[in-house]
Every structure is written in structure tokens, then in C-alpha cells.
A = this chain, B = another copy of it.
Amino acid sequence: MSGYFSMLLYSLDLLGTGVFAVTGAMVAARRNMDLFGALVLAFVTAVGGGTIRDAILGSTPVFWVHDTNYLTVICLATALTLAGKAWWHKTRHVVMLLDALGLGVFVVIGVEKVLSMQLDPMVAILMGVLTGAGGGVIRDVLAGRVPMVLRSEIYATAAIAGGILYIVMYDVGVSRSIVAIACASSVFVLRLLAIYCNFSLPKVTAQSS
């Protein structure tokens, strides 16, 4: 991967971190948490998935310990979110767009980390999904609600599809920057389709079919 591409991916990673932090701070505000609660929810949403990934892989200290840009972005995003409450309803679609983009980038980063350690592709897909969707799960648990991602949204499914696409293209030998762009884009597009066209996975219910 070229240095230029790595820099692009890193910039998008920080952008995704900021947007995920915004969604965490918003949930905290809706639950009447205090400033500290907003910081915590912003933090776990933004880096929670990647932190668990690194702990599972033994890649410690985890990624944000050595690069404090992540923490800085999270603090800034939380401050902006709380200061800009009056504009929330106007930025709703922008947040959703950037959140979908962040999901795509996080999946790429998770998959690439596992592949760089020469581990199994199945583990790579799982870690891509964990990096993208894990933070939101912790956020929802701390906010006292059943994680949205387990219930009704095609959030994780977009991440899984992107992960599989990455592995398949990588196996047939496509260059890494192309694979990364294809993976992130497909997650992004699937996620937007899900939001604006109301796709959803069939519910699994306890009643016999």
C-alpha cells in the first residue's frame, strides 16, 4: 500500500472516530447523563470495538495508547456535540452519512490488522465486524438498552458483506488499496441502502414457523 493511501486511510479513521464519538455523546445527552457520561459514551463508541479486538489479538498496548490523536479527536467531538445541540436536527443526515463511512473504514482497518498477523480469513471478517460494530454495542449496554445492532438494523450485515468482499478480492490478488476502497465503499453503500430503503434482516423469533 502506498504512503499516500495509508495517510488517506488514517485520516478517514480519525474522521470515523470523531463521528462515532458524536453518536455516543448524543445517546448520553438523550439519557440526561452528565458531561463525564458523555465523554465515556463517546469514548467507548469510538474506540471500544478496536480495543476489544486488540485485547483479543494480544496487540497491546492497544492502538490508541501510543497515538493520542484518537483521544484528542474524541474530546473535541464530544465538546462540539454538546455545544451544538441546537443544530442537531439540521446535521442528522450528515451524521448518518459519516457514520456509514466510518463503519466502512473501521471494517477495513480491522480486517487488515488480522491479515497482517497471518491469521485466518474467518477471524479477519469477525474482527472487521467487531471493530466496526463493537463500540456501538458497549455504548448501548452502558446506556441501559439492548444493543440496536442486535435487533433491527442492517449495520453488522453491511460490515460482514464488506469483510467477505475484502477477503475474496484479496485472495484473487487485487492490490490492497483497491480492495480497501471496494470494501469500505460497499459497506457504505449497503448501509445507506438499509437506512433509506428500509432493508432489514428477517427477525428470528421463538415461535415455531
Contact = CB atoms under 8 A, between A and B. Distances in A.
A151 B26 CA distance: 14
A207 interface: yes
A150 B56 contact: no
Nearest to A119: B65
A149 B124 CA distance: 32
A33 interface: yes
- Bin the interface of chain A by size: 35 or more
Given A56-B51, A56-B65, A85-B206, A36 B150 contact: yes
Interface stretch (A2-10, A138-146, A185-193): A138-146
A82 B35 contact: no
B36 A82 contact: no
Nearest to A209: B85
Per assembly, the copies of the chain total: 3
B208 A149 contact: no
Contacts of A11: none
A205 interface: yes
Interface in A105-121: 117, 119-120
Interface in A1-58: 25-26, 28-38, 40-41, 51, 55-58
Interface of A: 25-26, 28-38, 40-41, 51, 55-58, 60-62, 65-66, 68, 71-72, 82, 85-86, 88, 117, 119-120, 122-123, 126, 137, 141-147, 149-152, 156-157, 160, 200-209
7 contacts: A32-B205, A33-B204, A56-B65, A72-B122, A85-B209, A88-B206, A141-B142
Given A35-B202, A38-B204, 11 more contacts: A29-B206, A30-B205, A32-B151, A33-B150, A36-B149, A36-B201, A55-B60, A56-B62, A68-B122, A85-B206, A85-B209
What 9 A-B pairs have minimum CB-CB distances, sorted nearest first? A58-B60, A37-B150, A34-B201, A144-B146, A86-B208, A30-B206, A36-B156, A29-B204, A33-B150
